[in-house]
Amino acid sequence: MPYKMVLVNRQDGIGTITLNRPDKRNAFNMEMMGEIDMAFEELAKDKEVKAIILTAEGKVFSAGLDFNWAATMDTQNLPPMASTVRGRAVTHDERSFLTLVLKIQSMPKPVIAAVNGVALGGAFVLAIACDLKIASENAQFGMLQVKRGLIPDGGGTYLLPRAVGLTKALELALIGDLIDAREAERLSLVNKVVPHDDLMTAAREMATKIARNAPLAVAMTKAAMYRGLHEPDLAEHMDYEVYIMNILFGTEDFQEGMSSLWEKRNPTFKGK
């Protein structure tokens, strides 16, 4: 479908979504958030796409919420984005930043954030919602919502403590200072930092390595990792792993993985 505020590209099994509102510092309004959601849905359904990269056009990843747009909202009659998350997720009658974050974490395909510049507020949340993160050395991150009378919503108060621990999350969210890419790497907010000109090359290299692996195993590994993060009972989670392994043992990809091992060749997986 045609998009106005994002670019969607497919190449060699890798889908790329590029935020494309550089004149507004890639700030999010409702239309843009809906387009990002639709782009992820489109690539999630594409059987040729094995991994997805999220990046941005221009010098800024995103300034977060577009406050010029937000200022037009009627706070006495809040728009549908203020309704419950689960209600929208079930009925599929609205796309928003909230459903977008849920979609990224629940979709079977890994999502790599390639953060090219400053990521503020909701954009910081969006980046840490992605499965893997690569940052340009020019990148900066900041939870600035408290400076605007808001909280890190869209899952921010859920995701950030799980990424850096409660104490550091409180520092980042209550003070609202910017941190640079190297500090983000030290805090494990990003997997790696690379020279700015190498950002997309590094992101594509990571995506390509993922795309070479068995798609079903990749999808179920992602699902198991997120489930394990919140499962308090180790034995219960091990039972879930056994359940998944029994499914994978019956796949063509497992047979191909074994055959390629014995035949000393690279496997060709079909996602079956």
Q: For the chain, first and last CA: distance in Å? A: 28
Q: How many CB atoms lie within 10 A of CB 272?
A: 11
Could you report the per-residue pLDDT of 145-203, keeping only the tens digit for each?
999 898 998 899 999 999 999 999 999 999 999 999 999 999 999 999 999 999 999 99
Q: Would you say residue 41 lies in a domain?
A: yes
**What one-character DSSP code corresponds to residue 4?**
S
227 and 95, same structural domain?
A: no
pLDDT at 93 over 60: no
241 and 153, same structural domain?
A: no
pLDDT band at residue 66, thresholds of 50, 70 and 90?
Answer: confident
Q: Are 125 and 61 contacting, i.e. CB atoms less than 8 angstroms apart?
A: no
194 and 71, same structural domain?
A: yes
pLDDT at 89 over 50: no
pLDDT at 9 over 90: yes
Q: Would you say residue 151 lies in a domain?
A: yes
111 and 14, same structural domain?
A: yes
Q: Would you say residue 267 lies in a domain?
A: no
Q: pLDDT > 90: what percent of the chain?
A: 76
Provide the domain count of the chain. 2
Beta strands in 117-196, from DSSP E residues, in sequence order? 118-120, 132-136, 140-142, 179-180, 192-194
pLDDT at 88 over 80: no
Backbone dihedral angles phi then psi of residue 114, each to the nearest 5 degrees: -110, 95
Average pLDDT over residues 76-99: 57
Domain end: 190, 211, 232, which one?
211
Q: Which residues contact 31 (CB under 8 A, 6 or more apart)?
A: 4, 5
Q: Which range marks the domain in which residue 146 is found?
A: 6-211
Could you report the per-residue pLDDT of 190-236, keeping only the tens digit for each?
999 999 999 999 999 999 999 999 999 999 999 999 999 989 999 99
247 and 196, same structural domain?
A: no
229 and 202, same structural domain?
A: no
Q: Would you say residue 146 lies in a domain?
A: yes
Backbone dihedral angles phi then psi of residue 62, each to the nearest 5 degrees: -170, 140
pLDDT of the residue at 94: 66
Higher pLDDT among residues 70 and 37, named by residue: 37
Q: Which residues contact 32 (CB under 8 A, 6 or more apart)?
A: 5, 6, 19, 21, 66
pLDDT at 78 over 90: no
Q: Would you say residue 270 lies in a domain?
A: no
Backbone dihedral angles phi then psi of residue 129, each to the nearest 5 degrees: -75, -20
Q: Which residues contact 235 (CB under 8 A, 6 or more apart)?
A: none
205 and 232, same structural domain?
A: no
187 and 113, same structural domain?
A: yes
17 and 94, same structural domain?
A: yes
pLDDT of the residue at 77: 54
pLDDT of the residue at 97: 82
103 and 235, same structural domain?
A: no
Residue 51 and residue 44: Cα distance in Å, rounded? 9
**What is residue 121's three-state secondary structure?**
coil
Q: Would you say residue 135 lies in a domain?
A: yes
CATH number at 130 reads 3.90.226.10
Q: Would you say residue 272 lies in a domain?
A: no
Q: Would you say residue 155 lies in a domain?
A: yes
Average pLDDT over residues 60-75: 77
Could you report the per-residue pLDDT of 128-142, keeping only the tens digit for each?
999 999 999 999 999
pLDDT of the residue at 2: 82
pTM equals 0.90
160 and 253, same structural domain?
A: no
Residue type, 181: A
Average pLDDT over residues 240-255: 94
**Average confidence score pLDDT of the chain:** 90
Domain end: 211, 227, 247, which one?
211
Residue 94 and residue 34: Cα distance in Å, rounded? 8
207 and 139, same structural domain?
A: yes
